[in-house]
Each structure stands twice: as C-alpha cells, then as structure tokens.
Amino acid sequence: MLRTREQAISYLVAASVGAVLVFVGTIVVLTFLLGSPIVYALVRAVILGGMLALAALWYWLSIKWMDAHDRW
C-alpha cells in the first residue's frame, strides 16, 4: 500500500522509465543480438513495454484521484 504521494510518484517514475527501457531493450536484443525481423521486435516491444506503461498510467490516475479527494 502506498502511504505517501512521494512514494506513489517514485513508483510512477520507476514504471515509466522501466517501460522505456523494456521497449528499447526488447528491440535491441531481438533485432541485433538474436537477428529477428524488426517488425517482430517492434510488436514484442510494444506488448512488453505497454504492460509497464499501463502500470504507470494506473499510478498517475491514482495520484490524480488522491489529489482531487484530499486523501493523502
């Protein structure tokens, strides 16, 4: 359970940075190291990075809701 706004923001930042790193890392690993086609790598990168992006969206919406309802 997130107790403070700062803790929620740190989770938001971690999920956002993680989404970008997973997206780029998936493309690099699949294309350059494993020799997969770029389209295959992009689809996989969008799926994997998108999962973390959804988590970041959830944190952002939660922070906005808590701010709007003065729940901190």
CA–CA distance, 37 with 42 (Å, rounded to integer): 9
Q: Are 24 and 42 in contact (CB under 8 A)?
A: no
DSSP assignment, residue 30? I
> Looking at the predicted structure, is the pLDDT value of residue 72 above 90?
no
The pLDDT, as a whole number, for residue 14 is 98
The pLDDT, as a whole number, for residue 2 is 84
The pLDDT, as a whole number, for residue 38 is 96
Q: Are 22 and 62 in contact (CB under 8 A)?
A: no
Name the CA dihedral angle for 54, 59, 65, 68, rounded to a multiple of 10 degrees: -130
What pTM, to 2 d.p., does this model score? 0.87
pLDDT tens digits for 9-64?
999 999 999 999 999 999 999 999 999 999 999 999 999 999 999 999 999 999 99
Kindly state the tokens that stand for 66. 């808590």
The pLDDT, as a whole number, for residue 1 is 83
